[in-house]
Amino acid sequence: MKRRAQQISSTMQRELQKVISKGFNDPRIRGLITITKVELTDDLKNAKAYVSVLPAERAELTMHGLKAAMGRIRRDVMERIHIKEMPTLKLEYDYGMREQQVISDLLASDPFRKDELSGDESADSVESGTVTDGDGQQADDVDAVDVRSTEE
């Protein structure tokens, strides 16, 4: 993307966010709406804005309302930025936040996580001289123990 296109893209993103944050009278448009990115073609004719909506359950309805209000949004942004010709604006839902949530949920449910024991339990077993396995049971047969201090 050329430098001029990047400048206009950045300005459009900022102004789109301001216009959307003012709110609309449309009951479909609810939730936390964020413009995550604006892509602009090098000829400055077409722009694609990526929109994130929270909560995700309202995303489809909110996107429908935003697309219905596109004429007003485009006009308000055009009044805020002064360029010769306003690019044609298209809104796309940004699935990035939803994918991040899915990954976060998968990581949280990982059965092989090492940090399931709280720091207090492991400190007690080190002080008492006993060695426990991952389930909190006392280990009978231990060849070597790696004890690392958490305090530095």
Contact 90, 45 (CB under 8 A): no
Entry pTM: 0.65
Q: Write the CATH number for 70.
A: 3.30.300.20
Determine, yes or no, domain membership for 142.
Answer: no
Number of structural domains, the chain?
1
Closest CA to 69 of 80, 57, 61: 61
Determine, yes or no, domain membership for 41.
Answer: yes
Determine, yes or no, domain membership for 42.
Answer: yes
Determine, yes or no, domain membership for 130.
Answer: no
User: Helix count (H) and strand count (E) of the chain?
Assistant: 5, 3
Amino acid 102: pLDDT:
81
What confidence tens digit (pLDDT) does each residue in 85-128 have? 899 999 999 988 778 878 888 888 877 765 554 444 444 444 44
Determine, yes or no, domain membership for 121.
Answer: no
Contact 41, 5 (CB under 8 A): yes
Which residues span the domain enclosing 7? Answer: 3-97
